[in-house]
Chain A
């Protein structure tokens, strides 16, 4: 059964424009899905509709057997604990240490009071340390996050998502502010997390070649519509043209590199 299913999802921010129109697709458990499309296509909007950071205008989203839009406040909170999220600008609390930021991922599981007081169990702390070590950040555990490089910050972001024990992680352009080296490290981690822990990944990307290399499946979005949905092998230059329109010139060069290697 599909872990996530979007049925005819529509989102209008205002009457003038529709950010998403009639989007339908489903994602299996453990799948690594990349979402590509030109700027303003609605990729971020789509991702944020899934965990209801944005309310949809129409259609339905099913996650793990429940209809997301029908959840009350309490159940929505529970749902969000099962969905991690990673951002282009990391969105960490800069003045706090790495471990404190990672432990924030546990807040959704705690009572308001325990969360307010910051009472984390020994088990939670142990798990946080294990994840930090797994991501190669053990030397920075007690560093403040504003002292880290971009790649390190993004790894803290991944750790914060992982400590939630999520079934799925949504990544909104996780490597858009990183250099190629750090990008590779981050993408490798995401791929490992997906394969090793069976966590479903939905990753918004700007780089077609990265999407081709890492994904099980690629979804192409243009002007709020899904215009491509298939395996990397099916993404031919013509289909890239469909997704990106006339801007696709450079991207096809990237594709050529892949075919050459």
Chain B
């Protein structure tokens, strides 16, 4: 009896009230979002309508771009540049990526331990997290240019700047991996007389090691891409610098194409290597 009545009640509710209740009520933040989207679309339409097209012949521009791409990617060739040269360039770039990931990883390991909420003082952890977030908010290239003021444009500035950004990235990643281990587990080990270092190396790191590896490999891939850019932008040698010279100095589109293919092949090989290594390490752990 009662159940039937309450079901009837539900029926009424759905027909009268629920029908016109929006699923997502219009609160302040969604209202602000809509206003912003509206303003942005108005601005976009205005900008597009006021661009000065006169000096550009669209048809010609498109066909020129396509033909440039065609030379670049369909006829890769270089007379200045031999395969060993290119290989040497890539190895230099990879060295840069490896070095900065290694330095970054080691420093971040310790900072990450201090920044993990379950391992240390909450205040220290929060200070480190804020500091590291600030470093991360500034792009790698800017850090390299900042350090170039004192170290001069070149590989030294690239190493320091890229390490700096890697440290901040990996500290966040590592500390969050460490936080996966419950505080109560750490307290249990404390209660049995283990000290902080023992707990870190016997419990915290072993239980987060697969995450640590994943993040480190990911950062290595990012650093490889960064190292290419640093070669071009900060004169840090390597394949990036060759690319910069080919495009900006010799204006040799076919060489640009060749180098791009080379970087692409190398990046892919790197990716499959790191996936492979991760898999193998994971099986062993």
Contacts and interface: CB of A to CB of B under 8 A. Distances in A.
Contact of B192 (A96, A104, A118): A104
Interface stretch (B52-60, B161-169, B195-203): B195-203
Contacts of B184: 87, 89, 91
Contacts of B264: none
Contact of A107 (B182, B185, B192, B206): B192
Interface stretch (A61-69, A108-116, A130-138): A108-116
A70 interface: no
B192 A160 contact: yes
A85 B192 contact: yes
Contacts of A100: 206
Given A53-B187, A91-B184, A110-B198, A96 B193 contact: no
B202 A112 contact: no
A93 B200 CA distance: 12
A89 B184 CA distance: 9
A118 B202 contact: yes
B191 interface: yes
B185 A77 contact: no
A115 B198 contact: yes
B95 to A, nearest CB: 31
B207 A107 contact: no
B181 A93 contact: yes
Interface in B159-185: 181-182, 184-185
A94 interface: yes
Interface string B107-122: 0000000000000000
Nearest to A84: B192
Nearest to B193: A108
Contact of A53 (B191, B198, B202, B203): B191
A107 B198 contact: yes
Contacts of B192: 80-81, 84-85, 104-105, 107-108, 160-161, 164
A91 B199 CA distance: 13
Contact of B194 (A89, A108, A161): A108
B202 to A, nearest CB: 6
B185 A116 contact: no
Contacts of A107: 189, 192-195, 198-199, 202
Nearest to B208: A95
A63 to B, nearest CB: 13
B193 A112 contact: no
B9 to A, nearest CB: 35
B185 A93 contact: yes
A10 interface: no
Nearest to A108: B193
A80 to B, nearest CB: 4
Interface in A2-16: none
Interface string A68-86: 0000000001111101110
B194 A104 contact: yes
Interface of B: 181-182, 184-185, 187-195, 197-203, 206-207
4 shortest A-B CB distances, which residue pairs?
A108-B193, A115-B198, A107-B194, A91-B188
Given A85-B192, A104-B203, 19 more contacts: A53-B191, A77-B193, A79-B193, A80-B190, A80-B191, A85-B188, A87-B184, A91-B185, A93-B206, A95-B206, A96-B206, A96-B207, A108-B193, A110-B198, A115-B194, A115-B198, A116-B200, A117-B201, A164-B193
